[in-house]
Amino acid sequence: MARAGLTTERLVRAGAELADEVGFDQVTVSALARRFDVKVASLYSHLKSSQDLRTRIALLALEELADRAADALAGRAGRDALIAFADVYRDYAREHPGRYAAARLRLDPETAAASAGGRHAQMTRAILRGYDLTEPDRTHAVRLLGSVFHGYVSLELADGFSYSAPDPQETWAWILDRLDTMLRDWPPA
């Protein structure tokens, strides 16, 4: 019989907290069992495996991030929407580094299709409607934004900018301004 109070949702949330504390790669059913001071076997009525746990944490992170982005984008367009969207990703990664890493987990096609990942792409495309892009440039721009946001956040989380001036926030603002200018002025003359 499962220990009273343990549910799949509670275990996934605890796993997400653990990911933020120790890193997503360190999250296992065994580590979660230690957190709850239970035997590993008692968690298998809720989780199939450590991979199942990691997948569930990834789905939670994608949902949380999509909800935050949707809230931030409400009523915004163009440059304001671009900056709000970018800031949501950066802030989420800094607040929840383990969950942010989880959101990058490769999911099987069926799980990915049912996840909030599609909402992220839809929101990015919605932002780009504020710029005069047509296909295939719009798809290139979706990939560019994702690469820039993820690249910058990953370097920042690894303390890649902490040893030199200017302040990383100044660079972040500079990057977003340049992205907005590039997208507004597309195609180049």
CA neighbours closer than 13 Å in the CB half-sphere of residue 107 = 25
Q: Is residue 4 very low, low, confident or very high in pLDDT (cuts 50, 70, 90)?
A: low
Closest CA to 3 of 52, 38, 35: 38
pLDDT digits 0-9 by tens, 87-99: 999 999 999 999 9
Longest dimension (CA), the chain: 69
Tell whether the model's pLDDT for residue 28 goes beyond 70.
yes
**What mean pLDDT is predicted for residues 1-29?**
89
Tell whether the model's pLDDT for residue 107 goes beyond 80.
yes
pLDDT digits 0-9 by tens, 48-102: 999 999 999 999 999 999 999 999 999 999 999 999 999 999 999 999 999 999 9
Tell whether the model's pLDDT for residue 1 goes beyond 50.
no
Task: Kindly report the average pLDDT of the chain as a whole number.
Answer: 94
* pLDDT the model gives residue 189: 66
Question: In the numeric block, which tokens belong to residue 120?
Answer: 């992220």
Please report, as a single letter, which amino acid is at residue 48.
K
pTM (2 decimals)? 0.92
pLDDT digits 0-9 by tens, 142-162: 999 999 999 999 999 999 998
Tell whether the model's pLDDT for residue 2 goes beyond 50.
no
CA distance 96 to 19: 8
Tell whether the model's pLDDT for residue 168 goes beyond 60.
yes
